[in-house]
Amino acid sequence: MQQRYEGKAAIITGAGRNVGAAIAYRLADEGARIAVVDLDEGRGMAVAEEINTKHPDAARWFSCDVSDSGQVQKLVADVVEAFGAVDVLVNNVAITDRGATVLDLEEDMWHSVFKVCLDSVFLCTKYVGRQMVAQGNGGAIVNIGSTSGYRARVNATAYAAAKAGVLSLTRSVAAQLGGHGIRVNSVVPNKVGSPVGQDVEPEDRERKNVLNRGAVPDDIANAVAFVASDEAGFMTAADLLVDGGSLHAGAGS
């Protein structure tokens, strides 16, 4: 496998399972040192240990509420102490309000979804961005979006709104950080792996796309590995759809 990330350090939020874990494994396979960020110690440690079995001392688990400014600042300082720098940030963590409409969604849930899905992207980008600027070598930030950010959802309210915010924030931040050589892009999946917040994918999960198969976490990891690499050095402010054509090819939701 290519070693596009040799000597680089990456922070991946929500890296304890599903898409986040797949991204961690993929970047580690390409030479990166990985900060596995997850509040669940069991899941986070398991991912870090699996990476270290294959690539000794390449990964560490970090516990961090990435919606809390103080904890994010400490995370960045701890990762720099451990790895010497931060070269890549993948904002992946998310929760959802699946099943709720605007008529019955609890306000606490609305705020929780925004904190985890959108505030975390702002905070991690702010403080990792400051570190990247101080390092003076540029960097890559990848935000994991969702096709929910593009279209109406009858069974989710806060999640769709927050993911739309992630897409807009990605473009604004890309414009602000481009002068520092920091690229900011989004990767946009549709129903990949287990549903948000769950460990197991239901066998009867319905998916509609033009490729007639379900997405797997490695599909997203492959896209992230490309867009965060130097091979995508002229890409920024882009929304990279990795959805099997479900959004724009008339395949439904």
Which residues belong to the active site? 159
* Tokens matching residue 113: 């979804």
- The whole-angstrom separation of Cα 177 and Cα 30 is 25
Question: At residue 236, what is the residue type?
Answer: T
Residue 53, classified by CB atoms within 10 Å of its CB into exposed (0-12), middle (13-18) or buried (19+), is: exposed
* Sign of the torsion formed by the C-alpha atoms of 78, 83, 84 and 85: negative
* Sign of the torsion formed by the C-alpha atoms of 125, 60, 8 and 147: negative
